[in-house]
Amino acid sequence: MLTKNNNKRVLNFDPCGILIVDKEKGLTSHDVVKRVRSHFKLKKVGHAGTLDPNATGVLVLLIGKATKQSANFLNKEKEYFATVKLGERTDSCDCDGQIIEKKDVTVTEEEVKQVILSFIGESEQIPPMVSAKKIAGKRLYSLARKGIEVERKSRTIVISDIEISEISLPIVKFRCACSKGTYIRQLADDIGKELGCGAHLTDLKRLRSGAFTIEQAIFLTELLKMERKDFYESLLRV
């Protein structure tokens, strides 16, 4: 929309829509929201599902009035590509944590396949302590940083598909499609427990969130080079 201001035509920049970002490692989801909001001087920016700092891939940003529709996107199925290392457990279930247990990896590739594929379907999962889940109003990761561990209730998750792409022990790589609230870090830890040798997540990339895919995503570094007009044109309309 164009408005007049001191006899000059000025763009009234108040966009509304969805932006798919390919989040880079080292940034929190809030970091991405903050940078986009600040760079383009936007009033409202939110996201539809957190990604861990060391995870990469699809982060759905909601711009302007689209933030009111976040509930419509949070419950959608997600798809990830995970890399897991067998033989080591960590206190965070991923490579950010401290190693708490080491064991020799004596399982066969066939045993690894059978255990991983056994997680397809509905199951109960206990959220890891290092997570953004709230208990009694406090984030679990905040308690974990203080060395406090609290009891967490399990919740039902659904893994609709797992496709193993590589087994090069102790490294395993697979694609996983799952319901909202599934922790892939915890899945890696649970796989390690079933195999009896321990495991942790070393790398994670979100390939899809609902209908939004990695092919639609824009790197944040490229996004922040855009002019406002190009940014506006890159939005998916709600």
Q: Which is more confidently placed, 140 or 127?
A: 127
What is the C-alpha to C-alpha distance for residues 203 and 214, in angstroms, rounded to an integer?
A: 16
β-strands 8-11, 99-102: how paired?
A: unpaired
Give the pLDDT of residue 135: 60
* pLDDT tens digits for range 173-210: 999 999 998 999 999 999 999 999 999 999 999 999 99
Residue in this structure with the two tokens 């982060």, named with its chain if needed: 59
Give the pLDDT of residue 146: 56
Provide the token pair at 216. 């639609």
Catalytic residues: 52
Name which of 183-192, 206-215, 223-232 the model is least confident about: 223-232
Say yes or no to pLDDT of 9 above 70.
Answer: no
What is the C-alpha to C-alpha distance for residues 67 and 46, in angstroms, rounded to an integer?
A: 6
Contacts of residue 7, defined as CB under 8 A and 6 or more positions apart, other chains included, come to none
Percent pLDDT > 70 in the chain is 84
Provide the token pair at 85. 């290392």
* pLDDT tens digits for range 12-60: 556 889 999 999 999 999 999 999 999 999 999 999 988 989 899 999 9
* pLDDT tens digits for range 54-99: 899 999 999 999 988 888 888 899 999 999 999 999 988 999 889 9
Residue 122's H or E segment, with its range, is strand 121-125
Domains and CATH numbers, the chain: 2-74+211-233 (3.30.2350.10), 78-209 (3.30.2350.10)
In which band, very low, low, confident or very high, does the pLDDT at 4 lie, cut at 50, 70 and 90? very low
In which band, very low, low, confident or very high, does the pLDDT at 126 lie, cut at 50, 70 and 90? confident
Please spell the DSSP secondary structure of 165-179, one letter per residue. EEEETTEEEEEEEE-
Exposure string over 91-114, b if 16+ CB within 10 A, otherwise e:
bbbbbebeeeeeeebebeeeebee
Give the pLDDT of residue 7: 40
Say yes or no to pLDDT of 5 above 70.
Answer: no
User: What SS3 state is found at 92?
Assistant: coil
Q: What is the mean pLDDT of residues 94-105?
A: 94
- Relative orientation angle of helices 109-117 and 184-195, to the nearest 10 degrees: 130
Check if the beta carbon of residue 212 is closer than 8 Å to that of residue 82. Answer: no
Give the pLDDT of residue 194: 97
Give the pLDDT of residue 1: 35
User: The pTM is what?
Assistant: 0.87
Give the pLDDT of residue 228: 87
Taking residue 213's Cβ as centre, other Cβ atoms within 10 Å add up to 15
Give the pLDDT of residue 178: 97
Q: What is the mean pLDDT of residues 143-166?
A: 81
Give the pLDDT of residue 108: 97
Provide the token pair at 11. 């763009």
In which band, very low, low, confident or very high, does the pLDDT at 141 lie, cut at 50, 70 and 90? low
